[in-house]
Structure 1
Amino acid sequence: MTGPAPPTGAPRDVLIGERLGLSAILGVPQGAKGLVIFAHGSGSGRLSPRNNYVAARLREAGLATLLLDLLTPQEERDRRNVFDIALLAARLRIAVDWAAEQPETRDLRPCYFGASTGGGAVLRAAAADPRIAAVVSRGGRSDLAGADALARVRAPVLLIVGGLDEIVIDLNAGAYDAMRCERDLVIVPGAGHLFEEPGTLDQVVALAIEWFRRHVGDAR
């Protein structure tokens, strides 16, 4: 006896890359126009509570989401891989290629949402991929993308940093200056690096929804 089928658009587990088999969670709400691909910070992955909360809110707003592990379990054992921005960016591009081949996502404009070190990875990946419609970074180490990559980003970029995260504010300000694309830097008052303070993550969600909708078309 089988249970009820999952509701249409409900998040489900998928594997990305024929050889790598990267674990991911894909959710595609009805009428979605954009696909937001997540890059997590060091020591985190597709099950990140904060990014899953953001993803759920994005889906409510009519945006598809793809949360994935950028490393295999074997690769995660080597901590150097966690900070290999070029490797992480290459995995993001594999995810975009994969989405372009799937019937339910191939017509969706791809976007990136990066957190912590993932912020550097999404910008490095966007610099080499003109398909990307928009990028949002939450408390991201945007500087890790490298000056050359930052100068080549063409997708509109929103950098969101907590007001208590002073070092990362400075690093994002430098990345902002290095970029030549449409961009904005928003500082959320009273927020730390992880945006754990009451209401701060909801501000990130609202900013991200507005940014993605503006650049992929209002999904609702």
Structure 2
Amino acid sequence: MAVEREVEVMAGEARLGGTLAVPEGAQGLVIFAHGSGSSRHSPRNRYVAYSLRTVGLGTLLFDLLTEDEEAEDEVTEALRFDIDFLAGRLGEVTDWVFRHPELSRLRVGYFGSSTGAAAALVAAAERTEAIGAVVSRGGRPDLAGGALARVRAPTLLLVGGADDVVLELNQEALERLRSPKALEVIPGATHLFPEPGALERVAAIAGGWFVHFLGGTLELETRP
């Protein structure tokens, strides 16, 4: 199992805190884009990251905002819903990965949650040759707007069956995607997947998707 280590991720002039872990022999790296008001310390994303590492994938969780931006956003809540800004920040972090000697050989995927899913899709649409797969957990892919039709990375939308409004928005977004795509509904789960076994199911399905499309050998699993 890879050991987590804290890193400083450069996104343009911004210095962002990150948590990086890459198992030996990893063939892919999953970059996490968290949702509004969250951080790299999100227990849900940390659990998913741990699960991905058990199947041989590297993970990078990072803070989308600097400390100053975080403080501003706590008051205004403006940046957390600025999808273009968040997508640009994610894109810059991706460029940092490609420049990193240890990471540049790895195929890259995005794991986005809530508004971070929209940012991941917009960033993927801008880097069609670079991003190998996208997974959205309880995301708002509808907020990616016109970028949905430009995404080329295989995209998996994971939604709780009891998350009615978000499920409907994901169904609409699925129709607008032109890449290989799938929508998986976790029966009985609500938005944050707190129900017993729900987040574990999310992690297992996401792991299958990423390993399949980022070049691993695990069989793709998308059905309960």
Residue matched to 1:44: 38
Secondary structure, in 3 states, of the residue corresponding to 1:14? strand
Residue matched to 1:128: 126
Q: How far is 1:14 from its partner?
A: 0.8
What is the 5 A alignment of 1:77-96?
Answer: 77-78=72-73, 79-96=77-94
Residue matched to 1:30: 24
Deviations 1:34-87 (A, max 9, x none): 000001111101000000010011111100000011111111223100111001
Q: How far is 1:16 from its partner?
A: 1.2
Secondary structure, in 3 states, of the residue corresponding to 2:170? helix
Secondary structure, in 3 states, of the residue corresponding to 2:206? helix
Unaligned runs of 5+ in 1: 1-7
Mapped to 2, the partners of 1:91 and 1:217 lie a distance apart of 26
1:172 counterpart (170, 173, 182) = 170
Residue matched to 2:104: 106
Mapped to 1, the partners of 2:61 and 2:194 lie a distance apart of 20
% same residue: 54
Residue matched to 2:144: 145
Deviations 1:12-37 (A, max 9, x none): 11111162111110100101010000
**Residue identity in the other structure for 2:132:** A
1:118 counterpart (89, 104, 116) = 116
Secondary structure, in 3 states, of the residue corresponding to 1:21? strand
Unaligned runs of 5+ in 2: 219-224
4+ runs of 1 displaced by more than 6 Å? none
Q: What is the aligned-residue RMSD (CA, Å)?
A: 1.2
Q: How far is 1:9 from its partner?
A: 3.4
Mapped to 2, the partners of 1:219 and 1:57 lie a distance apart of 16
Change (3 A) 1:219 1:94: farther
Q: How far is 1:219 from its partner?
A: 5.9
**Residue identity in the other structure for 1:121:** A
**Residue identity in the other structure for 1:117:** T
Secondary structure, in 3 states, of the residue corresponding to 2:7? strand
**Residue identity in the other structure for 2:3:** A
Q: Are 1:61 and 1:219, in contact at CA under 8 Å, matched by a contact in 2?
A: no
**Residue identity in the other structure for 1:99:** V
Mapped to 2, the partners of 1:120 and 1:208 lie a distance apart of 17
Secondary structure, in 3 states, of the residue corresponding to 2:194? coil
Mapped to 1, the partners of 2:86 and 2:27 lie a distance apart of 25
Secondary structure, in 3 states, of the residue corresponding to 1:133? strand
Moved more, 210-219 or 196-205: 210-219
Q: Are 1:41 and 1:118, in contact at CA under 8 Å, matched by a contact in 2?
A: yes
Number of residue pairs the alignment of both structures matches: 212
**Residue identity in the other structure for 1:100:** F
What TM-score comes out, normalization by structure 1 length? 0.94
Moved more, 72-81 or 86-95: 72-81
